[in-house]
Amino acid sequence: MGQTTSNLFYLVTIICFILALRFLSSPTTARRGNWIGAIGMAIAIVVTLAHSGMHIGWRIPVGAAIGSVFGLVGARRVKMTAMPQMVALFNGVGGGAAALVSLSEFHNMAPEPGHLHGDVIVAVVASALIGAVSFAGSLIAFAKLQELIGGRPITYPGQKFGNGLLIAGVLAAGIAMIAGSEAQWLMVVVLVGASIFGVLFVLPIGGADMPVVISLLNAFTGLAASATGFELGSNVLIVSGALVGASGTLLTLMMGKAMNRSIGNVLFGAFGQVQAGAGAAAVEGTVRSVNAEDVAIMLAYAQNVVIVPGYGMAVAQAQHAVRELADELEKKNVNVQYAIHPVAGRMPGHMNVLLAEANVPYDALKEMDEINPEFPQTDVVLVIGANDVVNPAARNDPGSPIYGMPILNVDAAAQTIVMKRSMATGFAGIDNPLFVLPGTAMLFGDAKASVLKLVSAVKAL
Amino acid sequence: MTHYTQLVVELTILALAIFLGIEVISKVPTLLHTPLMSGTNAIHGIVVVGAMLVAGAADPDLLTGWVGFIAMILAAANVVGGFVVTDRMLEMFKKREPQKKAEE
């Protein structure tokens, strides 16, 4: 197939990808959109196979088969709670593939003088560097989320200086390549150095900040794909990479805003280790504990109930029980809604997926800005496994490390029931004054067991 | 078309794609941000095109051959896994069932 014809088909792919994202604007069309995207991808693959000068050989079919099996098994088996790891992994392999393509391009082009245009070599370096950072960083993010290594920030003296030195070295090698050096070892320096940087850059970031990191790595892989497009003169790669880059960047900024932290602070702050409790007013007061029967009565005779799910709910696998409770309450004509904080879960939108899996209808899931004005009319708020996102200190204690972070104003509701395993602090290690407010009562115990107790108590009424 | 004319065209495409991306993505509700992420994950699987060009080179030397092969594995996992997992997630999003009223 000639270049013009294949470019025409690649244009179809581009349109399919844009439609795929466009259809994601509503849950009713989103699934169809994903299919359109997959069709676009299939077109691109077939067109590339039909390129004149393409030798299919064994590498393409065998590589495709191995990769597809891994992808398919992973995608089918992954639990919804483990989705952040999965996304991190797919991010990583994409970045890795982009870096490898650049490695081979440089290897093949460099020995021929006059073959390398300045802009192409810039693209080669950019794609190799960003792709390798994304690959290694994503693997570390995966390991952290999968709890293969500790989720707490890992820090050591001279960390920032060391990282700075490393990235400076990598950039120097890249600049030497751009300046015209065709030494192959420079490429190795870029790839290895960038990989080490990727590892060191994600290691110090705490588990609570993973939503930001995954979004950022998503953007990185997009940029790497776009750079690969410049390298190969392929519009479809340029556009697709730009779309992914835009998406990842927007999500990163959104997550940063939802935590009221600059991206720089997330990446270099090693949150959860340094600031924990520093300067925050100590929480004093007594905690009121209630039993499941009392809570069941409160819920059954309420008009409006809002459930605030946190990652603790997902860890306890309580989402199905929560849904059952909501069903029982709805039978008693109680209006049940869910308040979803933007950083609930371990990646953007994670909590919505977890609840959708438990068959919670998506029209009952409310965003923070939508639900906050409704709390004053809410009779009972049920906080399940969430802590920092309902901490009023974020609103009124300038000394608190999370001060300024937008929260769910559950303290405006008539009654708040907090379900917690114990009085331990949240992921960020911060005290929560909500627990000692007069309108708050605590229901201690495992989230799933407690919710199941509530279900049977409501049924018995 | 000379090399640099093509570069300018490519940069134009890049700029337009970035703005289009921001426009389209900002219309995606937070409800669907996880599928958005895995969906864009699948889309950056388009590097499979690059991987195929490397793996399908005529008479590759040892490095190109193996690098192309590994890139092919990674990119294929990216494409297949990305689309399948996104579909699995989107399948779960359902509206309040109207049949509930019929039961009452």
Q: What is the residue type of A192?
A: V
Per residue in A15-25, pLDDT (tens digit) is: 999 999 999 99
Among A150, A274, A136, A266, which residue's Cα sits nearest to residue A200?
A136
* A87 → chain B, closest CA residue: B38
A150 near B CB under 8 A: no
What would the mean pLDDT of B26-52 be, rounded to a whole number? 95
C-beta of residue A305 within 8 angstroms of C-beta of residue A378: yes
**Contact across the interface for B41 and A94, Cβ inside 8 Å:** yes
**Contact across the interface for A100 and B67, Cβ inside 8 Å:** yes
Residues of chain A in contact with residue B42, where contact means CB-CB under 8 angstroms, are 34, 37-38, 41, 90
Name the least confident of B33-37, B58-62, B88-92. Answer: B58-62
Coil, helix or strand at residue B94:
coil
Per residue in A400-422, pLDDT (tens digit) is: 888 889 999 999 999 999 998 87
Do the interacting molecules here have an ipTM over 0.90? yes
User: What is the rounded CA–CA span in Å between residue A351 and residue A399?
Assistant: 29
**Contact across the interface for B48 and A35, Cβ inside 8 Å:** no
Residue B101 has pLDDT above 60, yes or no: no
User: What is the rounded CA–CA span in Å between residue A243 and residue B83?
Assistant: 16
Place of tokens 């090399």: B3
Domains by residue range for chain A, with CATH: 78-268 (no CATH), 292-460 (3.40.50.1220)
Residues of chain A in contact with residue B5, where contact means CB-CB under 8 angstroms, are none
What would the mean pLDDT of A124-145 be, rounded to a whole number? 95
Query: Which residue in A66, A86, A98 is closest to B73 by CB distance?
Result: A66
Which of A6, A15, A59 to probe by mutation at the B interface, max B CB count within 10 Å? A59
What distance lies between CA B61 and its chain's CA centroid?
30
Which of B47, B64, B85 to probe by mutation at the A interface, max A CB count within 10 Å? B47
User: What is the rounded CA–CA span in Å between residue A382 and residue A373?
Assistant: 17
Coil, helix or strand at residue B32:
helix
Residues of chain B in contact with residue A65, where contact means CB-CB under 8 angstroms, are 76
Residue A369 has pLDDT above 50, yes or no: yes
**Contact across the interface for B34 and A87, Cβ inside 8 Å:** yes
Res A429: pLDDT: 56
User: What is the rounded CA–CA span in Å between residue A428 and residue A30?
Assistant: 34
User: What is the rounded CA–CA span in Å between residue A233 and residue A243?
Assistant: 17
C-beta of residue A47 within 8 angstroms of C-beta of residue B66: no
Query: Which residue in A41, A55, A214 is closest to B46 by CB distance?
Result: A41
* B22 → chain A, closest CA residue: A246
Paired with A120 in beta bridges are none
**Contact across the interface for B87 and A31, Cβ inside 8 Å:** yes
What would the mean pLDDT of B9-24 be, rounded to a whole number? 96
User: What is the rounded CA–CA span in Å between residue A115 and residue A127?
Assistant: 18
Residues of chain A in contact with residue B95, where contact means CB-CB under 8 angstroms, are 27-28, 361-363
Paired with A308 in beta bridges are A383
What would the mean pLDDT of B27-37 be, rounded to a whole number? 95
Res A266: pLDDT: 77
What would the mean pLDDT of A85-96 be, rounded to a whole number? 95
A455 near B CB under 8 A: no
A62 near B CB under 8 A: yes
A365 near B CB under 8 A: yes
User: What is the rounded CA–CA span in Å between residue A29 and residue B90?
Assistant: 9
User: What is the rounded CA–CA span in Å between residue A79 and residue A430?
Assistant: 29
Per residue in A249-303, pLDDT (tens digit) is: 999 999 888 888 788 877 776 544 444 444 556 666 788 889 999 999 999 999 9
**Element (DSSP H or E) covering residue B98:** none
User: What is the rounded CA–CA span in Å between residue A111 and residue A434?
Assistant: 67
Which of A13, A48, A93, A360 to probe by mutation at the B interface, max B CB count within 10 Å? A93
For residue A411, the distance in angstroms to the closest alpha carbon of chain B comes to: 24
**Element (DSSP H or E) covering residue B91:** helix B62-92
What letter would DSSP give residue B28? S
Judge whether A363 counts as a catalytic residue: no
**Contact across the interface for A100 and B71, Cβ inside 8 Å:** yes
Per residue in A171-230, pLDDT (tens digit) is: 999 999 988 888 889 999 999 999 999 999 898 888 778 888 999 999 999 999 999 999
C-beta of residue A449 within 8 angstroms of C-beta of residue A420: no
What would the mean pLDDT of A301-323 be, rounded to a whole number? 91
User: What is the rounded CA–CA span in Å between residue A433 and residue A435?
Assistant: 5
Residues of chain B in contact with residue A49, where contact means CB-CB under 8 angstroms, are 52, 56
Q: What is the DSSP string of B41-69?
A: HHHGGGHHHHHHHHHT-SS--HHHHHHHH
**Contact across the interface for A41 and B45, Cβ inside 8 Å:** yes
Among A151, A33, A25, A31, which residue's Cα sits nearest to residue A85?
A151
User: What is the rounded CA–CA span in Å between residue A21 and residue B25?
Assistant: 7
Residues of chain A in contact with residue B93, where contact means CB-CB under 8 angstroms, are 27, 30-31, 352, 356, 362
Name the least confident of A8-22, A333-347, A381-395, A422-436. Answer: A422-436
Cβ-defined contacts of A164-169 (< 8 Å, 24+): A166/A193, A166/A196, A166/A197, A166/A200, A167/A193, A167/A197, A169/A193
Residue B99 has pLDDT above 60, yes or no: no
Which of A28, A100, A120 to probe by mutation at the B interface, max B CB count within 10 Å? A100
Query: Which residue in B43, B65, B69 is closest to A240 by CB distance?
Result: B43
A236 near B CB under 8 A: yes
C-beta of residue B84 within 8 angstroms of C-beta of residue A75: yes
Catalytic choice (A209, A388, A411, A431): A388
Q: Tokens standing for A43?
A: 């077109």
Res A113: pLDDT: 61
User: What is the rounded CA–CA span in Å between residue B39 and residue B79?
Assistant: 10
CB atoms within 10 A of CB A260: 14
CB atoms within 10 A of CB A256: 22
Res B1: pLDDT: 67
CB pairs under 8 A between A and B: 367
Name the least confident of A186-195, A344-353, B14-23. Answer: A344-353
Per residue in A25-76, pLDDT (tens digit) is: 999 999 999 999 999 999 999 999 998 888 888 999 999 999 999 999 999 9
Place of tokens 């459930």: A307
Res A141: pLDDT: 94
SS3 readout for chain A? CCHHHHHHHHHHHHHHHHHHHHHCCCCCCHHHHHHHHHHHHHHHHHHHHCCCCCCCCCHHHHHHHHHHHHHHHHHHHCCHHHHHHHHHHHHHHHHHHHHHHHHHHHHHHCCCCCCCCHHHHHHHHHHHHHHHHHHHHHHHHHHHHCCCCCCCCCCCCCHHHHHHHHHHHHHHHHHHHHCCCCCHHHHHHHHHHHHHHHHHHHCCCCHHHHHHHHHHHHHHHHHHHHHHHHHHCCHHHHHHHHHHHHHHHHHHHHHHHHCCCCHHHHHHCCCCCCCCCCCCCCCCCCCCECCHHHHHHHHHCCCEEEEEECHHHHHCCCHHHHHHHHHHHHHCCCEEEEEECCCCCCCCCHHHHHHHHCCCCHHHEEEHHHHHHHHHHCCEEEEECCCHHHCCHHHHCCCCCCCCCCCCCHHHCCEEEEEECCCCCCCCCCCCHHHHCCCEEEEECCHHHHHHHHHHHHHHC
Q: Which residues contact A333 (CB under 8 A, 6 or more apart)?
A: none
User: What is the rounded CA–CA span in Å between residue A437 and residue A455?
Assistant: 26
User: What is the rounded CA–CA span in Å between residue A223 and residue A154?
Assistant: 27
- Tell me how far CA of residue A307 lies from CA of A234, A384, A428, in angstroms: 48, 7, 22
What would the mean pLDDT of B70-77 be, rounded to a whole number? 97
